[in-house]
Amino acid sequence: MSKKKTYRIRNWHDYNKALVNRGSLTVWFDSKSIAGWHSQPPNGSRGRPQIYSDLAIECCLTLKMVFKMPLRATQGFVSSLIELLGLPLSVPNYSLLCLRQKKLSLRFSSQTKLNQPMHLVIDSTGLKLYGEGEWKVRKHGKEKRRSWLKLHLAVDDVSQSIQASLLTADDVHDCEVLPGLLDQIEQPIDQVTGDGAYDTHDAYASVIEKGASPCFPPRKNATRHNPTDEAYRLRNHAVSQVHYHSLKYWKKKHRYHRRSLAETAMWRFKQLLGDRVQARTMAAQSREIGIKCLVMNKMNQLGMPVVLRA
């Protein structure tokens, strides 16, 4: 009987500091947010100017997500924070935060070196929209009003930062949103790795169009097709490798085991920021999830564990 592999964290000192800093207000309410709090209307603009910049709205909503507060409590929290710091700033009320959230422009920043190709791992998970808690479902069964949304993530396997996200209905297939995920990424991509749900011609084609190599395991009943384009040729090659060698051989050759980092990112997302969506409209829900992804990336930048085999 083989001995079970054990792994240990080798940078406990630095990682422990990062865990402490996640609760520091100076991380989420920094000098950059204060300097760009009020928006500057462009010259010659017409209509009522916006008092608060997108950065100020994003800062307030970030504090809301990190400390898991409703909108009204967020307004009170930011007001008290500004008052304690003695800053000459006003605070957007909860109604304005709700309205601006629907049109907020978010952008994921990459932690890898510029022009260095990334290895993306992709997957999806479910988020609760409304419905009973786990205890009531276990005791009395679920009701018809239970509803879910589907979160699709693209994660960099080196920095484990989220590079793109999409929120869809729960009946949307994973391979359908892959082009939308890849379009959000401007940096070069070396390889895109996903599970068997992405084993389609369109998924292969969308990855090849980005200049990357697709890595999707063929299904059990996968067959070869007439190689009319590069997508079919690469898929046929994967089917042949699994047929003549084994699926284990194919996974090891293409580093398919790195795909588990996407599941790790989703587990970390739900543990730290919750598995529910609070907003009511799809536009606001997408921004809510986008801000949570930015929060996750910020936490990763503070410090990640270095795990090595004992």
Query: How many domains does the chain contain in total?
Result: 2
What gap in Å lies between CA 233 and CA 242, rounded to an integer?
15
pLDDT of residue 235 exceeding 90: yes
Could you tell me if residue 293 is inside a domain? Answer: no
What is the structure's pLDDT at 113?
60
> For residues 117 and 260, is the Cβ–Cβ distance under 8 A?
no
Do 85 and 227 belong to one domain?
A: no
Do 26 and 149 belong to one domain?
A: no
What gap in Å lies between CA 292 and CA 284, rounded to an integer?
12
Could you tell me if residue 70 is inside a domain? Answer: yes
> For residues 51 and 28, is the Cβ–Cβ distance under 8 A?
no
The CATH number of residue 156's host domain is 3.30.420
Do 58 and 126 belong to one domain?
A: no
Do 215 and 182 belong to one domain?
A: yes
Do 218 and 137 belong to one domain?
A: yes
Could you tell me if residue 287 is inside a domain? Answer: no
pTM of the predicted protein model = 0.90
Mean pLDDT, the chain, whole residue set:
90
Could you tell me if residue 110 is inside a domain? Answer: no
* SS3 label, residue 25: helix
Could you tell me if residue 135 is inside a domain? Answer: yes
- DSSP run (H or E) holding 31: helix 31-35
Render pLDDT for 111-126 as a digit per residue (tens, 0 to 9): 666 678 999 999 999 9
Do 169 and 32 belong to one domain?
A: no
Mutual orientation of helices 71-85 and 54-67 as an angle, nearest 10°? 110
> For residues 306 and 5, is the Cβ–Cβ distance under 8 A?
no
Do 130 and 265 belong to one domain?
A: yes
> For residues 18 and 300, is the Cβ–Cβ distance under 8 A?
no
Do 131 and 277 belong to one domain?
A: yes
Average pLDDT of 7-36? 92
Do 218 and 270 belong to one domain?
A: yes
pLDDT of residue 52 exceeding 60: yes
Render pLDDT for 62-79 as a digit per residue (tens, 0 to 9): 999 999 999 999 999 999
Could you tell me if residue 290 is inside a domain? Answer: no
What is the structure's pLDDT at 125?
95
List all residues 6 or more positions away from 19 whose beta carbon is below 8 Å from its beta carbon.
303
Instruction: Please list the residues that pair with 7 across neighbouring strands.
Output: 309
Could you tell me if residue 266 is inside a domain? Answer: yes
Q: 6-10: long-range contacts at Cβ-Cβ below 8 A with a sequence spacing of 24 or more?
A: 6/309, 6/310, 7/307, 7/308, 7/309, 7/310, 8/307, 8/308, 8/310, 9/305, 9/306, 9/307, 10/306, 10/307, 10/308
pLDDT of residue 272 exceeding 60: yes
Could you tell me if residue 205 is inside a domain? Answer: yes
Do 244 and 139 belong to one domain?
A: yes
* SS3 label, residue 198: helix
From 70, 101, 132, give the residue that closes a domain.
Answer: 101
From 101, 128, 144, give the residue that closes a domain.
Answer: 101
Rounded to the nearest 10°, the torsion over CA 35, 81, 87, 85 is: -110
What gap in Å lies between CA 287 and CA 121, rounded to an integer?
22
Do 161 and 30 belong to one domain?
A: no
Q: Which domain holds residue 237?
A: 118-281
Amino acid at 235: R
What gap in Å lies between CA 272 and CA 299, rounded to an integer?
10
Do 273 and 195 belong to one domain?
A: yes
**For the chain, how many residues are written?**
310
- Whole-number CA gyration radius for the chain: 22
